[in-house]
Amino acid sequence: MTENLNADDLVQLDPGKVGNPLFAGCVMVVTEPKSWGAQGYVQAPGGGQAYYRQSMKKWNWLAAPFG
């Protein structure tokens, strides 16, 4: 699945599977596709980004890219 994943794609972190519950349901912007999943960021309330890594089994694919 990561062979179709590109930088700036959007994935939603699965609330039932995500490792850190603070990121449950968040939309992650992919910055770097990896063989095991992706590295990216979630926009934080109040400004800034929270960077996160997630395996591909723990997200739901959205549309890619929006823009």
Domain definitions of the chain by residue range = 2-54
The pLDDT of residue 11: 86
Q: For 41-52, what is the mean pLDDT?
A: 89
Extract long-range pairs of 21-24: CB within 8 Å, 24+ residues apart: 23/50, 23/52, 23/54
- Is pLDDT of 42 > 90? yes
- pTM for the complete prediction? 0.77
Residues 6+ apart with CB under 8 A from 61: 1, 11
Considering the chain, what is the average pLDDT of its residues? 82
The pLDDT of residue 29: 93
Q: For 7-22, what is the mean pLDDT?
A: 86
